[in-house]
Structure 1
Amino acid sequence: MTRPNVTLDDVAQAAGVSRSTASRAINGGQRVSPEAQVAVDDAIARLGYSPNPAARSLVTRRTGSIALVLPEPDARILSDPFLAGLLRGVSDGLMGTDLQLVLLLARKGERPGRTARYLRSGHVDGAIVASHHREDHLDEQLADAQLPVVFVGRPFVDSGVPYVDTDNTAGASIATTRLLARGCRRIGTVTGPMDMTGALDRLEGWRQTVSEAGLATDAVTHGDFTVEGGARATAELFETHPDLDGVFVASDLMAVGAMQVLADLGRRVPDDVAVVGYDNLGVAERTTPRLTTVYNPLVQMVAAATETLLAMLDGGPAPAQPRVLTLTPELVEGGTA
């Protein structure tokens, strides 16, 4: 139990070391012998000493917190399983550490560069950035910051910042190949936002695969990774291209909206139109029929990003992995293709 009247001098005296040695042992163990470290640790345990956080931060220049940066409206955190999974995964990854998690979201009308200025001003010890958009410019603004940063998802600018991603181009190709194998010959796509690298890569994977099959690549509409956005984009897609017999939808949430529109149009899934989504983060299991989708390895991505950041905070390189880690997606069979 912590005794509020125990001071650093008390710890030093109990450990038989100088006050400066006790301070160094408490604040990271630099230039402290193993014997002195053990003596100080034992004294802390016996006396119930708890360092003053403000004083400790002056010595270590650490805040004891990291930021998870999600440049999205707060309402999406509650409705998007990818964003919710990011938050849960990073929080779980910090278990066993003394680090606190600070969540930074987008604000409507926020001044450009506000988030980057906050991160560069010493409020946190490091950051994980995900769901970033081109206009955020976080990849550029944080490239030369004296702050450990890891991106989840490929940044627009390769500035040397570590990142973890899934091979979105390959994942989209897997989805489109499944539609081709079913016999679809008029295949469209509903993309994610074109200011995000994952959406651009999924569009490219669809386009390459359809083109290599000798089919037209004109049936494209753009969504926003929400159910409503998927519905709107699908209605637009079938208004322009009513002859489609297959659709690759770049997220499962958007695929839910797409299937609702197809039902309203009297198109049976998969008899009239086959549908493949992307993510497999719980949404696909709740559709009827169950959505055929591509597994986005979010758990592994978040674990790798968190592990990398913690290693950087300790002053070391990413543990047993390169600066860029790209994971492989997989097809998850359902009843829609």
Structure 2
Amino acid sequence: MRSTIPPTLDDVAQAAGVSRSTASRAINGGLRVSPEAQAAVDDAVARLGYSPNRAARSLVTRRTDSIALVVPEPDGRILTDPFLSGTLRGVSDGLLGTELQLVLLLARPGEHPGQMARYLRSGHVDGVIVASHHRDDRLEPELGRGSLPVVFVGRPFSDEADLCYVDVDNVEGGRIATQRLIQAGRRHIATVTGPLDMTAAVDRAAGWRAALAEAGLPDDAVVEGDFTTIGGAAATERLLAEHPDTDAIFVASDLMAQGTLRVLAAHGKRVPDDVSVVGFDNLGIAEALRPRLTTVQNPVVEMVEAATGTLLDLLAGAPVPRARVLAPVLVEGASV
């Protein structure tokens, strides 16, 4: 009858024909272990079904075998925002085939700026992926001055900390969205931005301005939203009150565009006959709207998988590029 007593490190060492210390080093990273000894230990681990004690291993390696996904947003947003749910999926997919555990950290009401960063720097995780960050959450300066491996999903505000990041070219995305409206013959093109304490919103608005400047059109019709449907609706109400001649709107997210379309309908404005609309994301909402929303593809899962791969390379000590920026693509609908 097979023993029910789990194999120990000594059992692995004996089966592999190596010392206990060599077996330990082979299991915990292979430092100063010959290829032959490593192969023998790997074979013994597989044959015996040995599972290392994580608590004991962490004392040797100073590793927790976990990484954090930090989303400095209220917890309700991750269930309703397709960007955030796509971010969680991308990290999970990127960790397939590894033994790393994922720790999800969300913002808490009233949390003091920098509190989350101090928690992360205190040794609870081996590395961090940050998504949907804001200027005032202080994650950039706090994490940038430490040795903890960090990768941002989205361009950081500051270049000084030399932080690694993966992003879509949001400036180009805003430009091609606005260019599509110009090509449709629109001349009073407004924008509903995202929150301007986020680089994605700043960059998309910059692309909108660049396209209008190139066409010699005014860029005064700007209202700030918050990347939510309710926020998009409220911003569109303000926009129509302040700029009633608006004949096109570039909305910086599809969630906000959903609110925009509702408000336009309530005001008796037909899309695209009276007002054309282009969104940003293409994460499932655009195709469900009527008319089907013309939007800009935001490759969230691909971005986050790339960010996860970059973090894994950092943890392995491999060289990584500071920035990886993916190209946006316009996805035609029926709203222009």
For the aligned pair, the TM-score class normalised by the smaller chain equals over 0.9
Q: Quick check: 1:176–1:206 contact (8 Å CA) kept in 2?
A: yes
Other structure's SS at 1:170 match? helix
Which runs of structure 2 are paired with 1:306-325 in the superposition (5 Å)?
Answer: 306-318=308-320, 322-325=321-324
Other structure's SS at 1:278 match? coil
Kindly provide the amino acid, as one letter, of the partner of residue 333 in structure 1: E
Unaligned runs of 5+ in 2: none
Deviations 1:70-97 (A, max 9, x none): 0000100011000000001101110110
Between the aligned partners of 1:80 and 1:47, the Cα distance in structure 2 is 46
Other structure's SS at 1:49 match? coil
Q: Quick check: 1:274–1:336 contact (8 Å CA) kept in 2?
A: yes
Between the aligned partners of 2:44 and 2:177, the Cα distance in structure 1 is 60
Kindly provide the amino acid, as one letter, of the partner of residue 130 in structure 2: V
The offset of 1:194, in angstroms, is 0.7
Runs of 4+ in 1 over 6 A off after TM superposition: none
Corresponding residue number in structure 2 for 1:42: 43
Q: Quick check: 2:90–2:302 contact (8 Å CA) kept in 1?
A: no
The offset of 1:39, in angstroms, is 1.4
The offset of 1:314, in angstroms, is 1.1
- The answer on 1:19 being equivalent to 2:20 is yes
Q: Quick check: 1:250–1:278 contact (8 Å CA) kept in 2?
A: yes
Deviations 1:264-291 (A, max 9, x none): 0000000000000001111100001100
Corresponding residue number in structure 2 for 1:92: 93
Which runs of structure 2 are paired with 1:114-193 in the superposition (5 Å)?
Answer: 114-158=115-159, 159-193=161-195
Q: Quick check: 1:2–1:48 contact (8 Å CA) kept in 2?
A: no
Corresponding residue number in structure 1 for 2:294: 292
1:3 to 1:111, Cα distance in 2 relative to 1, 3 A? farther
Aligned-pair identity in percent equals 69
Other structure's SS at 1:74 match? coil
Kindly provide the amino acid, as one letter, of the partner of residue 192 in structure 1: G
Corresponding residue number in structure 2 for 1:209: 211
Between the aligned partners of 1:214 and 1:254, the Cα distance in structure 2 is 27
Q: Quick check: 1:247–1:276 contact (8 Å CA) kept in 2?
A: yes
Kindly provide the amino acid, as one letter, of the partner of residue 166 in structure 1: V
The offset of 1:296, in angstroms, is 1.0
Corresponding residue number in structure 1 for 2:333: 334
TM-score, normalisation: structure 1: 0.97
1:24 to 1:283, Cα distance in 2 relative to 1, 3 A? same
Between the aligned partners of 1:229 and 1:2, the Cα distance in structure 2 is 62
Other structure's SS at 2:110 match? coil
Q: Quick check: 1:3–1:47 contact (8 Å CA) kept in 2?
A: no
Aligned-residue Cα RMSD (Å) equals 1.2
Residue number among 233, 237, 260 corresponding to 2:239 in the alignment: 237
Unaligned runs of 5+ in 1: none
Q: Quick check: 1:3–1:49 contact (8 Å CA) kept in 2?
A: no
